[in-house]
Amino acid sequence: MTRSRALARRTSQNPLLSFGFVCLSFVLMSAIMVRAEDAAPDEVIVSHGYSFYGDLTYPADFPHFAYVNPDAPKGGEVSMPFVGSLDSLNPYNGRGRAHLFSIMHYESLLGEAPSQVAVPADVYAELYCLLCERLEYPVSKEWVIFYMRPEARFSDGSPVTAHDVAFSFELITTQGLPSYAQAVSQRVPEIEVIDDYTIKFYFQEGISRRSLVEVVGGVPVWSKAWFEETGIQLSETWTQPPLGSGPYIITEHDLSRRIVLERRDDYWGKDLAFNVGRNNFDRIRLEIFSDNAAAFEAFKAGEYTMRVEGDSRRWATGYDFPKLRDGHVIKAELPDGAPPGATGIVFNLGRTVFQDKRVRDAIALAYNFEWTNESLQYGLFRQRTSFSENSPVMAVGVPEGTELEFLKSLGDLVPSDMLTSQVRMPHTSDPDRLFDRRNAREAMRLLDEAGYKVGADGMRTTPDGQPFQLSFLFSAASSATGKAIMENFISNVQKLGVGIRLDEVDTAQYTKRERDRDYDLVFDSYSPFLGTGTGLPQQFGSEAAEFSLFNPAGLASPLIDEIMDRSLNATRLEEEQAALRALDRALRHEFFMIPLWYKQDHWVAYYNQYEHPETIPPYALGHLDFWWYNADKAAALRSAGALR
């Protein structure tokens, strides 16, 4: 038996990572399942999966997930585009620019989809074993033990052991990103390798039990022997990927052209219930382009075969080409049941100018959603209002019931108007003209009141007499429509007497400047939330506000901190949801980003050789996960000359 202590250095999760989602197993061994809410305080729960409140939708002997096609054929290739530049296969250390495809061949104790979304995709916040057979933990959640599958193998045939799990955890918490370590290392003071296939994680006393099992169960597992043999460090930029245990391996990677993954015939977990109906493509290919226009033309030419569209103009007008009219290409709008990303124009609160909320309010009034949506986006979008849009934890109206009681319990931290006023909603604008004069008058009044006066040249100065200048960081890889929208916004801001410029830079510069927080405003997003967890402080917490990559505004608020802390310590679902509605209300009250738009469906175009389940689950499109290839349809496309 060996012990190792998880070091408490600052490390963190990369935006491409998604720790703490799901995996499964069909074996319970001889253990007896106990529901958490029915257990005594000292009861040890043994299960094939995990959810905080103890409920699991799928039993230990489930045959497959409800939404997959268990008879889906294996075979074929699916290919996707990427617009921008890549220079690394390592997304874990915050250096360079890596793609999701670079981590698709790794697995964790609790598994995820190849596209790093939840598994299963039809339920929320349930986790199932993948590299483990079962896990056990006390009701108090002071620790968790994972019993691993002895049959699990890395792609070189070597076994995946508890020593690899311990090594991987310590590696990512000593050489990874700062905000992840701050959120995790202090919460996991000790790990114990009990034997080759059994590992125990101890959790810090006196802290919330939230997300602890999910986080340790979601660490990507690497081969300790591979790292020791090669001498490669997580802190380095990788040009060769470490060994993984997943269904795919990277067989080709030219980071200026493409990344190719191929399905392993010898994949150890292919017969698990967790994987039935999934991982259906023999080959997954990423084609890399320098701009969106070139990428779209390549799709029409058949250089790649599936495209998830985000440009409203292209979706409305660009898909009228012969292959689509002939039925060779399918254009589909498929339901998306997940809350949309909280996308918007983010204010850098580290800038003195934006510490005055009146200035933020004034700049926001220059954005005209109604005109933009009708004139540039073909009326295809809705305006986002919430950080958890259309969900049970979206704040609405005036606080009442359990949410009001919760807010009152916070005392003087809560501004009095939050208790009696409607939740903050985006302003409305004139849909018939870009520059809304009513909003402009209010914006000018706010700027005047804040001391940003107009000089003889028509331009404003700061309260200390300096020119009022702002920079808006924007990626050159964005769509033409996106650029036009931001240029129109900037034009309206300039009409208020504010000197503002659009800093359009290539993807490498954009990534560096965003990480350095070298901007006044930036087009960015926050992840939506449906439940609480330690990921919330990484996005909205004060402790990591100065350096967290997940908090582009640098938001630091005692009120937000307290709400998150209360939510993490909730013991009932009703209590948790009341706290999260209060969080949504408070985030909107803080007003650190201008909410933009969202669409209700997945927009996807693909060559007519792919099929998917009739019902798309709410939390994943699943195009790289549970879709499949129809060989007869593919042959018909080739016969018609639609594909090579």
Residue 522: enclosing H or E segment and its boundaries?
strand 521-526
Hunting for tokens 């292959």 — which residue is that?
323
Token pair recorded at residue 339: 């809350």
Helices (H), 46-177: 162-175
Contact 461, 398 (CB under 8 A): no
Q: 10 Å Cβ neighbour count for 401?
A: 10
pLDDT for residue 91: 81
Q: Phi, psi (5° rounding) for residue 488?
A: -70, -40
Closest listed residue to residue 621, CA positions, set 637, 606, 642: 606
Q: What CA–CA distance (Å, rounded) separates 3 from 536?
A: 30
- pLDDT at 195 (0 to 100): 98
Say if CB 480 and CB 313 are below 8 A apart.
yes
Which pLDDT value is given to residue 179?
Answer: 66
CB 273 within 8 A of CB 63: yes
Task: Give the DSSP H/E element, type plus range, for residue 593.
Answer: strand 593-595
Q: Which domains, and CATH codes, for the chain?
A: 2-248 (3.40.190.10), 342-598 (3.10.105.10)
| Residue 449 vs residues 351, 357, 360, 419, 495: alpha-carbon distances, Å | 19, 11, 13, 26, 17
Q: How far is CA 364 from CA 207, 280, 429, 483, in A?
A: 38, 46, 11, 17
- Cα–Cα–Cα angle for 341, 385, 420, rounded to 5 degrees: 135
In contact, 132 and 27? CB cutoff 8 Å: no
Torsion on CA atoms 185, 188, 189, 195, rounded to nearest 10:
-120
Q: Which residues, including other chains, have CB under 8 Å from residue 43's CB and lie 6 or more apart?
A: 34, 138, 139
> pLDDT at position 182, please?
67
ω before 120 within 30° of 0 (cis)? yes
Query: 10 Å Cβ neighbour count for 74?
Result: 13
Of residues 187, 189, 109, 106, the one with CA closest to residue 146 = 109
Number of CB atoms found within 10 A of residue 413's CB: 16
Q: Which helix (H) or strand (E) holds 252?
A: strand 248-254
**What is the reported pLDDT for 115?**
60
What residues contact 247, with CB distance under 8 A and at least 6 apart?
A: 105, 114, 263, 264, 267, 269, 270, 275, 279
Q: Report how far apart the first and last C-alpha atoms of the chain are (Å, whole number).
A: 57
Position 499 scores a pLDDT of 97
Locus of tokens 């990626």: 475
pLDDT at position 21: 28
Is the C-alpha dihedral spanning 441, 443, 446, 450 positive or negative?
negative
Query: What's the pTM value of the predicted model, to 2 decimals?
Result: 0.87
Residue 290's H or E segment, with its range, is none
Three-state secondary structure along 481-519?
A: HHHHHHHHHHHHHHCCCCEEEEEEECHHHHHHHHHCCCC
3-state helix, strand, coil in the chain (%, to 5): 30, 20, 50
Query: Is the dihedral angle over the CA atoms 347, 352, 357, 361 positive or is it negative?
Result: negative
Cα torsion through 431, 436, 437, 443, rounded to 10: 150
User: What are the E-state strand segments in 130-238?
Assistant: 132-138, 143-148, 190-195, 198-202
Q: What is the mean pLDDT of each run of 10 residues along the chain (644 residues)?
A: 26 28 27 39 89 93 98 98 87 77 90 73 94 96 97 97 96 79 82 98 93 92 95 86 93 92 96 97 95 95 96 95 97 95 96 97 98 96 96 97 97 96 98 97 98 96 96 92 96 98 92 93 95 90 90 98 96 95 98 96 98 95 96 97 92
Between CA 167 and CA 250 the distance in angstroms is 22
Q: What pLDDT is attached to residue 234?
A: 84
Residue 419: name the closest of 431, 429, 406, 430 by CA.
406
Q: Are strands 469-475 and 521-526 parallel, antiparallel or unpaired?
A: parallel
**Amino acid letter at 100?**
L
* DSSP state at residue 303: S
